[in-house]
Structure 1
Amino acid sequence: MFDQQARLERVLARHPDAMVVEPVPGCPALVRRDEILVAGRDAGDAEAAVRRWCDSRHDERAVTRLRLRAAAKVDVCEVASRLAGDGGPGGNARRRRLSVSPNHLVHGQPMWWSGPADLPRPAAPVAAPRAAAARRDVTVAILDTGLAPHPWYEDAEWYREQRDEVQEVLDADLDFDLDAQAGHGTFVAGVVLRHAPTARLLARRVIGSDGVGDELDVIRALEWLAGRPRADVVNISLGCHTYDDRPSPVMARALAALGRRTVVVACAGNTAGDRPFWPAAAKPVVGVAALDGGDRAWFSNHGWWVDACAPGVDVTSTFVRFNGTRPAVDGTDPDDFRGYATWSGTSFAAPVVAGRIAGLAAAEGIGADEAADRVLDPETNPSVPGLGVVVGS
């Protein structure tokens, strides 16, 4: 466990446009300063409501980002709440609710600033999973840090098609050490492939090598997926707490645009509590907690909103190649990575579930939604209160 306040200070130093908000005492969240996200059709009304503070408007396909003037010192949480509640600051005769949200920061989940931390450790090589006969092709989208070349998949057509655009960044701060969550996406990819070795992976980089991104990046990726041939399963091993502990309506629209036949799986978070963690807590999303043996991993979130649980402690998977500056201890180099690592977190429980769903869909030639119903059926699989259906390794 690392010093959480020190990690928060590093996050804020690296992201100077971020700030901690805490409208509800004891329930902090991180947001981009002076930014509001609006679902496409509500952009005009939202801009009109904040016109006196608005500095700029940036329209994308299904989301608009409104930047407010820093000098106005506007509380973006209060503004978002009032826009969502009564049509705008000061009230509105139309009283129409708008789909708006602050731009929350999201974090990969072996590490989060208010939760426990874990660093990857070098591991011995693991044999690539053997592809069994598949009755149909299955695509799993991984929204994460990207993918590094790896023997398990570097010769696959799906990887060659996207290799350059999704390349992992290993040392963004140029300190000659591996960044805190560099390799996160590559690790997740290996977990998926262990359970669905014939899957075609479709990567999108939405968080940096420090493990931090924002809601807008995730929404952009979801919009990208909605506008191309459909992914069967989407794995999101990251998330956040929101300022009001409710789902972001802008994120909710982006998830809904994927359609019911796409199964979205997300990690439940590592804050060891029952506070909803998004998007895992969203109704259309399969939220996954971590197990340590047969029990809840001590760091794992839990609660009524968690749908499933899977092994998340000392998971071994694919990783990057990198040798950092830390000295060897008793003949073992703690940061000499040669393509494999062991890591813990709900980040690595989620792709177990995503992989099991994708693997069953491929083997049986069924839709991902039907496969998810079978993998998560509480009538045929054991369940744990607060952790959902147990999905084994």
Structure 2
Amino acid sequence: MATSPERLSRYTARRQTRLEGLRQLRHTAVGTSRAWYVADELLVVDDGRRDVERYLGRAAAARADSGDEELLPGLRRYRAPGLDVPGALRTLRAARPSGTRLASPNHIFLSSPFNHGGPFGPPVPTAAMTIKSPADGVDPVPVTIVDTGLWRDTRLPTDYLVPGGVELETETDVDNDGLLDGDVGHANFIGGVITTHTDRAALRVIRVLDTFGVCTEADLAIALGRLHPDTKVINLSLGGFTADGTAPLGIRTALSRALSGHDRVVVAAAGNDGNRTDPFWPAAFAGAGESWSGQVVAVAAHDGTRLCSWSNTGSWVSLVAPGQDVRSTFIDHTFFPDGWALWSGTSFAAPRVAAEVAARIGAGVGAVAAVERLLAEVASAGQRFGGHVGLI
């Protein structure tokens, strides 16, 4: 449901103001899109520590308040106030064989409906639907939503939420401008999409995005390190670009640890920039040739007829799912009296696929096998959108 140009303009301007008002953020152009990163910081794998410490030790920018910390085994964050991040990376990479990447920026990742060009603006109220109760007599499938916190006042059935496994959001207007922050209720909406399409899910929520849908790559890496061991399906309705198109080093490390040797899959949104040339991460890991890339499902969006014009896509996209005018649980709020909303974005195409994967797990079928089964079924159905197989 297209919103008025005036409302969409206000929505887009507010998003841009928020990002540009965060003093530590920098960006560089990627086509018509932007790659955002944190000033003064590098993410470094262990093999690169000596080179980075040598560089920072002789750099004029290095000061007493510089330092480093371990984010995950094998991954550290270095801070050096005044550091020229692009210049440092050029110098560090020039000293190594071509293609060797031991350090990268601390990128900014953004939720896929809001900060990547929410196609029709903010969510709009809609009539409530009924979600059936969890299935009896079958083992639930552990699904983790790594996203905003869950707003407590919601129509999302609590029987689907793992006791003690849900991190909550408590504020709706952190900038005190009298408007709902742009991504309040994002996790609630995703949970509603999942439970509308399968009664097999047991939902956990890890809070990593703020109420404006913003997190650092370091934050996301740490969040992925906190997955419950039982997790089978991970929903990531967030992402971003990198300046040179190469994989973000921190998330590559975190996903390798989360997926390698585990029967576990990631379902990731392709983003909403209308970008058809540049990889959008972490979804683009589906086509990155990693040993675990087959455990990543990259999801673009269609409107029932064609690939949405605002959906990112590329050779790395696994399949396309409904993403326009999706109806789901939102928050109980004055502006949303029924607690349901319509919202558009690849953020909401991804959980549809997560639900379909969860529904196929069980009876000797693991998470990886469930993905393979789903992709085969979708291909067999013959529906295509923008050159990609599509789920109706």
Q: Shorter-chain TM-score: which interval?
A: 0.7 to 0.9
How far apart, in 2, do the equivalents of 1:106 and 1:301 lie? 15
Question: 1:100/1:312 Cα in 2 relative to 1: closer, same or farther (>3 Å)?
Answer: same
Q: Identity of paired residues, percent?
A: 33
Unaligned runs of 5+ in 2: 1-7, 287-292
Superposed, 1:264-283 pairs within 5 Å as 264-274=266-276, 275-283=278-286
- CA separation of 1:122/1:157 partners in 2, compared to 1, >3 Å: closer, same or farther? closer
The match for 1:124 is: 127
Seen in structure 2, the aligned counterparts of structure 1 residues 9 and 197 have a Cα distance that, compared at 3 Å, is same
- Asked if 1:11 corresponds to 2:15, the answer is no
| TM-aligned CA deviation for residue 77 of structure 1 | 2.6
The correspondence of residues 1-80 of structure 1 with structure 2, limited to 5 A, is 1-2=8-9, 4=12, 7-13=15-21, 15-22=22-29, 28-40=34-46, 42-51=48-57, 52=59, 53-54=61-62, 55-62=66-73, 63-70=75-82, 73-74=83-84, 76-80=85-89
Amino acid at match of 2:368: D
Q: What SS does the aligned partner of 1:231 have?
A: coil
Alignment partners' CA distance in 1, 2:150 and 2:120:
22
Does the CA-based 8 Å contact 1:171-1:177 persist in structure 2? yes
Q: Judging changes above 3 Å, is the alpha-carbon distance between structure 1 residues 40 and 197 closer, same or farther for their aligned structure 2 residues? A: farther
Structure 1 residues 12 and 337, CA gap change in structure 2 (3 angstroms): farther
Q: For residues 76-225 of structure 1, what are the structure 2 equivalents within 5 Å?
A: 76-83=85-92, 85-86=93-94, 91=95, 97-112=100-115, 116-132=119-135, 135-149=138-152, 150-155=154-159, 158=162, 160-163=163-166, 165-225=167-227
Deviations 1:239-276 (A, max 9, x none): 00111111112211211112252111111110112121
What is the CA deviation profile of residues 290-341 of structure 1, one whole-angstrom value per residue up to 9, with x for unaligned ones?
Answer: 1101211121112211111111011111111122xxxxxxxxxxx3343211
Using a 3 Å threshold, how does the CA distance of structure 1 residues 60 and 7 change in structure 2: closer, same or farther? closer
Code of the aligned partner of 2:78:
L
1:320–1:302 distance in 2 versus 1, CA, 3 Å: same
Quick check: 380-389 or 253-262, which moved more?
380-389
Query: CA separation in 1, counterparts of 2:200 and 2:317?
Result: 28
Mean alpha-carbon deviation: is it higher for 241-250 or for 127-136? 127-136
Query: What residue ranges of structure 1 are gaps of 5+ in the alignment?
Result: 324-334
In the alignment, the residues of structure 2 paired with residue 115 and residue 122 of structure 1 have an alpha-carbon distance, to the nearest angstrom, of 16
**Aligned partners of 2:353, 2:326: CA distance in 1, in Å?**
14
Whether the aligned pair in 1 keeps the contact of 2:133 and 2:159 (CA below 8 Å) is no
2:5 aligns to what? none
Give the distance between the partners of 1:389 and 1:210, measured in 2 at CA: 32
Q: Using the TM superposition, give the Cα deviation of residue 39 of structure 1 relative to its aligned residue in structure 2, in angstroms.
A: 2.6
Aligned-pair CA distance for 1:118: 2.1
The C-alpha deviation readout for 1:58-112, integer Å capped at 9, x for no partner, is 2233331111122xx51x13323443x34xxxx36x9993432111111111122
Judge conservation of contact 1:134–1:198 (CA < 8 Å) in 2.
Answer: no
* Secondary structure, aligned partner of 2:72: coil
> Relative to 1, partners in 2 of residues 1:48 and 1:98: Cα closer, same or farther, differing over 3 Å?
farther
The within-5 A match list for 1:340-355 is 340-355=340-355
Alpha-carbon contact 2:72-2:254 (below 8 Å) kept = no
SS in 1 for 2:226: helix
Q: How does 1:347-366 map to 2 (within 5 A)?
A: 347-362=347-362, 364-366=363-365
Q: What is the RMSD of the two structures over their aligned residues, measured on CA atoms?
A: 2.5
Return the offset for 1:171: 1.7
**Whole-angstrom distance in 2 between the partners of 1:298 and 1:168:** 34
Letter in 1 for 2:105: P
Structure 1 residue aligned with 2:327, among 313, 316, 326?
A: 316
Compared CA separation, residues 193 and 215, structure 1 to 2 (3 A): same
Change (3 A) 1:369 1:381: farther
Give SS of 2:44's match: strand
Aligned-residue offset at 1:384: 2.8
TM-score when scaled to structure 1?
0.85
